[in-house]
Structure 1
Amino acid sequence: MTTLICNCNRTMPLDGVALGRVLGETLAVHTTLCRREAAAFQRAARDAGDLVVACTQEQRLFTELAEATEGVPPLAERPIRFVNIRETGGWSREAAHATPKMAALLAAARLPDPDPVPSVRYDSAGRLLIIGPLDQAEALADRLADVWAVSILATGGAGRQARRYPVLAGRIVGLTGWLGAFALRWRDDNPIALDLCTRCNACVAACPEGAIGLDYQVNLGACRGHRDCVRVCEAPGAIDFARSAEEQQATFDAVLDLRPAPAFTQHALPQGYVHLPPTLEAEQRLARLWPLRDLVGTFEKPKFFQYQQRLCAHGRNEQVGCQACIEVCSASAVRSDIERNRIVVEPHLCVGCGACTTVCPTGALTYAYPTAAHQGRAIKTLLSTYRAAGGRDAVWLLHSQGAGQRVIEDWGRAARLDADIQGVPARVIPWPLWHTASTGLELWLSAIAYGASQVWVLMTDEEAPAYRDALQQQMAVAEAILQGLGYRGEHFRLLPLRDARDLAALDAAARGAPAQGVATPATFGVQADKRATLELALEHLMAHAPAPQGAEIALPAVGSPLGTVRLDTEACTLCMSCVGACPAGALQDNPQAPQLRFIEKNCVQCGLCVKTCPEDALQLQPRLWLEPQRRQPRVLHEQPPFQCIRCGKPFGTLKGVETMLARLSGHPMFQGAAAERLKMCGDCRVIDIHTSREVKITDL
């Protein structure tokens, strides 16, 4: 591994000796690596082994230089890793103290890439539908026709005389799908058939009410039934008021929608759908329209999630429990399939935000790219390197790779130009994610266990409101745990930046006192199993808790994946319906005795047991119980067994049989001998029925 660092024309202090000591190599501090010292980059690129370059501004230049340099392996075989230490720390007012952070970022850049995952494929053959006023749609079609085969669904407007594009008309019934697979259904309920219309304008001139416009559709509200238009259109025969309305359908690869309101209501619109309302400014319209030209062909993206139905707490026996993933998904990619007691995720609609995996209490949905284990290695590497370099009170600052990354860079540059901006503090370690909603409780608490003082999440206006709510709920749970264990200070913070230009507010929010962390950092590894990781983090935090506040910690009622159940023993009949409903094995029966047992560590607070219980005997109680017994089965309720009145064998429970007898006492089929059979075990009940029949036959 070779690392190249540059002080960018002496604009930031770099301690090459200290960085090299932590990273285990000799580092030369370059001044103009992208210009006069480019030969040093070329020599390093020729050498065997991985190469890390501490510059992202000139990433394109370095990549082109490597491709043009003889002897450099193909970048597909040995990619160069680029890391930003300038805006993230080198240009901060605290740059002289940012060496530990730089070392941490450089060490994390050395980690191997995430393991590959299955991909999701889109095939776009170039069929574009434009919905909107005919004149506007035709004008945009002219700009896109060299790439797309355009069809137009007109919603008014005045069209041209020359017919250049197929025009549809009618009332949209439904529009579903994604890039390469949009399905349009519309009801053709207008008297003028556009495929027969010659645009001769005879009907427009003939209509005395002016009910026919240059979109060649009849305004039925204004039409008075003179039928002059029908007479003048006799030869083409395009106008027929007796024609029955028919629902039609067609498929398209992409949709450009010019109407004020979009066809889709979710925050994250489907790939291939572009909404261009008339209120957009010219710059915004161009920014949305231009990428549409690149959406013809075959495309792939990672399948960002994995789903394990056996862990899912969504449903049991067609009872709905947890719906967190459905409620948080901004792309409407997750839906309920309660008949199969599961959820369904459409990978073509999934945008990879990871919010569903963050709020999933069981780990049935997990983030696949990168995996939790890869994220865990990155966290541990960052924090252990930071600590080894002498850093203290680290803040793990999570931000998106898109808008969030741009904010971090703008923040760092502003510190060079604005005397009131301090820049990224030395103890704040920015870390990019595909999406900020992709990490949650178990990874945040793991970061604290690894030695972080705080975890902050930077959210911009690109995130859906549901993501902010979900992360705030997760932070409330995590903070309650640490406060209950006696860790002082604010450990988790959401930094909402609605206006990317308001860097002063971000700069001020980043100036705060550190929170109390663990005295001894953890060494465990983040597991693929979400609950296992959460337990490892909790065990370490509890073992090093400075001042636990009692034997249990009350947790927020919303969003907590930890807790117990309260049982009304007077109402419970030990029917064990809750045991069959529990997806996490928290509620269990005892094959040896009529007992309902509970393992609190396993409970995910999904509520399926509450909804399943026929006696309404259960209630959820979010909490973290600090006693070791939380990992062991404990008896919630037990009853003496009911003994068969014929053979004495125990079956059922005393209360269960008594409840059954009481409920069936008025039923005509369970009177006399039939009522007595309810007190017998299954074998004796059959014997008694046959014995009674034999007696009756003998009597005859």
Structure 2
Amino acid sequence: MTTLICNCNQTMPLNPRVLGDALDEDLTLHTTLCRRDAPAFQKACRSKDELVVACTQESQLFTELSEQTEGAVALDVRPIHFVNIRETGGWGREGARAMPKMAALLAAARLPDPEPVPTVTYKSEGRLLIIGKLDESERIAAMVGDVLQVSLMATGGRGTQARRHPVIAGALHEVRGWLGAFDVSWRTDNPIDLDLCTRCNACVAACPEGAIGLDYQIDMDRCKSHRACVTACESVGAINFQREDQAHTERFDIVLDLRDTPAFTQHAPPQGYFHLAGGLKSEAAMATVIQLRDLVGEFEKPKFFTYKQKLCAHGRNETVGCNACVEVCSALAVSSDLKRNQIIVNPNLCVGCGACTTVCPTGALSYAYPRAGEQGTKLRTVLSTYAKAGGKDAALLLHSDKAGAALVADLGRAASLDAKAVRGVPARVIPQPLWHTASVGLDVWLPAFAYGASQVWVLMTGEEAPQYREAVRAQMDVAQAIVNGLGYSGRHFRLIEATDVTALDAALDDAPAQAVKRRATFAIQAEKRATVELALDHLLQDSAAQRAPAEAIALPGASLLGTINVNKDTCTLCLSCVSACPASALQDNTERPQLRFIEKNCVQCGLCASTCPEDAITLQPRLLLGEQRKQLRVLNEAQPYHCIRCAKPFGTLKGIEVMLAKLSGHAMFQGEALERLKMCGDCRVVDLYSNPGEARITDH
């Protein structure tokens, strides 16, 4: 492994000895690696060793220099890993104390890239539909028409006389789909057929009410049925007031919507759909036009999730239990399929936010890129390297790799210009980029705390869906309740909302919280609950000497941990809840009428409560601290009911009594028929055949 560090023309303090000791590597300090010291980079490019360059600003220059260096290892064989230690650590008031943090960032950059995952493919031939006023649509079409096949759906406006693109007129019904597969449906509800119209303006001049504009559509509210336009258009035949409305559907690859109200109202619209309410006047207009031009060809993205139906607590027997993933998805990519007692995730609509995996209590949905184990290895490496270099009170700052990373970098740059105005990223704060800040939850935060992080912060910059903020905040409340209940003082988990440098600088000025005494070494598992259990086991042992004696820690309602309470007065031990439980937390006893429970397995999905016909079950979020949490215990039991014919137990006394009380007044259950309900299944059959006349009456 070769690591190249540079103090960027002596603008930040770097101690190569401290960094080298933490990385177990001899480091040379460069001053201008991208200029005068470039030969050192070229020499490293010729080596087959993994190469880390502590600079992101000049990553393009270094990449080009590597390609031009004779004898350099090809980048597809040995890629270069770039890492930012300047804005994230070196530039700021505490730059001289940031060596442990820089060592941690360099160590993370030395890790291998995540393993490939399955991909989702989009194919686009460049068929673009622009929905909006004709004049604005035509101007945008002129900018992209050389590379895209443009069609226009007119919603008013004044078009040009030159017909350059097909124009669709009618009432838009629906737009659905994604890049390469948008199905657009509409109804032709206007007398003028724009496919036949020659834009000669004869109808416009002939209409006495001025009901026809230069969008070549008739305003039916103004039209008084003079039909002068029909006469003027007779030779062309584009106007027909007797034409019946017709439904149309056509497929497009890309949709640009210029209307005030978009076709998709969810926070994350499908890929390939763009909404520009202000047309070319909006700030995003030109960037969107450039993006449109590039959407021809085949595109791939990672399949961000994995789904294991056997773990899913969404439904049983067409009854909804956990619906968290469906409710949180901002792309409407997750839907319910109760007939199969599962959820369905559309990979084409999924944008990779991972919020569904964060709120999933069972781990049925898990984030795949990077995988949980890879994420855990990175966090463990970062925190162990930070501690090895002498760092104290580490605070992990999890942020998005786009807007979040840009804001963190802006804070560092602002501190380099005016350290009195802003402090910059504190020495103990270790920024870590994520594809999306909603993609990690309790199964990452708790292990990070167990690995030695004093605090775990999630930075959101306003780009996230509102439900993501609420979901992350709710899960953080659970994590905070756990560690505080275990005796660790301070605020350990926090959602930071900042959109500018000043707000972020203030938010990072927070006192450290109490960390673990002994750092954990376990690996994050593929199964979410297995990871949470490993973290809890470590924290229970680490905190044993400092926490106050308690039976359980009360947790907020969003918890994936807890117990259930059974009202023994109303429970009939029908055991419907046992068959509904997806996690084997509820169990029966084949030897006697009992409802048994393993609290460790409970995911608080609520299926037992919604299934119970007597409404006898309520949920209680909590963390039970004793060994009883992992043991089978009895929640309710009853005296068995014995068959009146053979004395074999076949139900509960209470259950049979309730059934007899409910059916005693029914005409079908009188006399011998009612007595037969007191028999086991075998004796009931024998009794029926012993009294054939009675049997015929009952059958009738």
State the TM-score, normalizing by the size of structure 2: 0.97
Cα offset for 1:282?
Answer: 4.5
| 2:432 aligned with 1:434 | no
Q: Which residues of 2 match residues 358-377 of structure 1 at below 5 A?
A: 358-377=358-377
Q: Which residue of 1 aligns with 2:563?
A: 564
- 1:540: which partner in 2? 538
Question: Letter of the aligned partner of 2:414 in structure 1?
Answer: A
**Hey, what's the Cα distance between the residues in 1 that align with 2:448 and 2:669?**
63
Contact 1:397 1:429 in 2 (8 A): yes
Question: 2:412 is matched by which residue type in structure 1?
Answer: G
Distance across 2 between alignment mates of 1:692 and 1:282: 86
Contact 2:276 2:282 in 1 (8 A): no
Partners of 2:241 and 2:600 lie apart in 1 by 70
Which letter maps to 2:492? Answer: H
Aligned length in residues: 693
Equivalent residues of 2:144, 2:289 under 8 A apart = no
Identify the residue that residue 553 of structure 2 maps to in structure 1.
Answer: 553
What residue number does 1:607 align with? 606
Q: Quick check: 2:140–2:289 contact (8 Å CA) kept in 1?
A: no
Shift of 1:696: 9.4
Equivalent-residue separation in structure 2 for 1:98 and 1:524 (angstroms)? 27
Output the CA distance in 2 between the equivalents of 1:189 and 1:666.
62
Once the two structures are superposed, the pairs formed by residues 6-85 of structure 1 within 5 Å of their partners are 6-85=6-85
The AA in structure 1 aligned to 2:638 is Q
2:4 counterpart of 1:4: yes
**1:504 paired residue number:** 502
Match of 1:632 in 2: 631
1:31-83: per-residue Cα shift (whole Å, max 9, x none)?
11111111111111111221111111111111111111122222111111111
Contact 2:16 2:29 in 1 (8 A): yes
> Is 1:519 the equivalent of 2:520?
no
Question: Following TM superposition, by how much is the alpha carbon of 1:542 offset from its aligned partner in structure 2, in angstroms?
Answer: 1.5
Return the alpha-carbon distance in structure 1 between the equivalents of residues 8 and 396 of structure 2.
25
Q: Tell me if structure 2 keeps the 8 A contact 1:256–1:276.
A: yes
2:108 counterpart residue number: 108
Partner of 2:93 in structure 1?
A: 93
Q: Taking every aligned residue pair, what percent have the same amino acid on both sides? A: 65
Indicate how the Cα distance of structure 1 residues 548 and 122 shifts in structure 2: closer, same or farther if over 3 A, else same: farther
Aligned partners of 1:281 and 1:637: how far apart in 2? 68
The alignment status of 1:483 with 2:453, answered yes or no, reads no
Deviation at 1:695, TM superposition (A): 9.5
Are 1:424 and 2:425 matched, yes or no? yes
Post-superposition Cα deviations, 1:124-154, rounded to whole Å, max 9, x if no partner, equal 0110000000111111101110110000000
Q: CA deviation at 1:283?
A: 3.4
Amino acid at match of 1:367: Y
Deviations 1:242-261 (A, max 9, x none): 11111111000000111111
CA distance in 1, matches of 2:695, 2:220: 81
Q: Partner residue of 1:649?
A: 648
User: SS state of the match for residue 298, structure 1?
Assistant: strand
Change in CA separation of 1:380 and 1:275 when aligned onto 2, cut-off 3 Å? same
Change (3 A) 1:696 1:638: closer
1:461 equivalent in structure 2: 462
Distance 1:527 1:449 in 2: 14
1:19 is aligned with what amino acid? L
Residue in structure 2 matched with residue 382 of structure 1 by the alignment = 382
1:289, 1:320 → 2: CA distance? 44
Secondary structure class of the residue paired with 1:508: helix
User: How much has 1:121 moved relative to structure 2?
Assistant: 0.2
Q: Which structure 2 residues correspond to residues 161-172 of structure 1 after superposition, within 5 A?
A: 161-172=161-172
- Deviation at 1:280? 7.5
- Unaligned stretches of 5+ residues in structure 1: none
Deviates further, 664-673 or 119-128: 664-673
Residue 157 of structure 1 is matched in structure 2 by: 157
Q: Distance in 2 between matches of 1:88 and 1:449?
A: 24
Secondary structure at 1:539's aligned position in 2? Answer: helix
Report matched runs for 1:261-280 at 5 Å: 261-278=261-278
Q: Counterpart of 2:475? A: 474
- Native 8 Å contact 1:274 1:289 kept in 2: no
Question: Conserved in 1, the CA contact under 8 Å of 2:118 and 2:303?
Answer: yes
Partner AA of 2:606 in structure 1: G
Aligned partners of 1:454 and 1:490 also within 8 Å: yes
Give, in angstroms, the shift of residue 288 of structure 1. Answer: 2.5
Find the partner of 1:528 among 522, 526, 529: 526
Question: Alpha-carbon deviation of 1:190?
Answer: 0.8
Separation in 1, partners of 2:281, 2:623: 51
Structure 2 matches for 1:658-697, cutoff 5 A?
658-693=657-692
Deviation string 1:172-216 (CA, Å, 9 cap, x unpaired) is 111001100000000111111111112111111111111111111
Structure 2 partner of 1:581:
580
More divergent stretch after superposition (613-622 vs 667-676) = 667-676
- Equivalent residue number for residue 142 of structure 2: 142
Quote the residue 2:181 is aligned against: 181
Give 3-state SS (helix, strand or coil) of 2:691's partner. helix
- Residue type at the aligned position of 1:483: N
Q: Which amino acid aligns with 2:40?
A: A
Conserved 8 A contact 1:188-1:246: yes
Q: CA deviation at 1:549?
A: 5.9
Letter in 2 for 1:496: E
- Across the aligned residues of Structure 1 and Structure 2, the Cα RMSD in angstroms comes to 1.3
The residue type equivalent to 2:448 in the other structure is: A
Provide the C-alpha distance between the structure 1 equivalents of 2:651 and 2:3, rounded to a whole number of angstroms.
Answer: 71
Counterpart secondary structure, 1:593: coil
One-letter code aligned to 1:438: S
Write the distance in 1 (CA, Å) between the matches of 2:280 and 2:202.
Answer: 36
CA distance in 1, matches of 2:282, 2:167: 26
What amino acid does structure 1 have at the position aligned with 2:538?
A: H
Q: Deviations over 1:521-548 (max 9, x none)?
A: 1111100000010111111112122224
Confirm whether residue 355 of structure 1 aligns to residue 355 of structure 2: yes
Superposition deviation, residue 694 in structure 1:
8.1
Q: Provide the rounded CA distance (Å) in 2 between the counterparts of 1:644 and 1:612.
A: 28
- Deviating 4+ runs (over 6 angstroms): 694-697
**Alpha carbons of structure 1 residues 98 and 280: separation in structure 2 relative to 1, 3 Å:** farther
Separation (CA, whole Å) in 2 of partners of 1:280 and 1:250: 26
* Structure 2 segments unaligned to the other structure (5+ residues): none
Are 1:485 and 1:549, in contact at CA under 8 Å, matched by a contact in 2? no
Distance in 1 (CA, whole Å) between partners of 2:203 and 2:549 is 83
**What amino acid maps onto 1:143 in structure 2?**
M
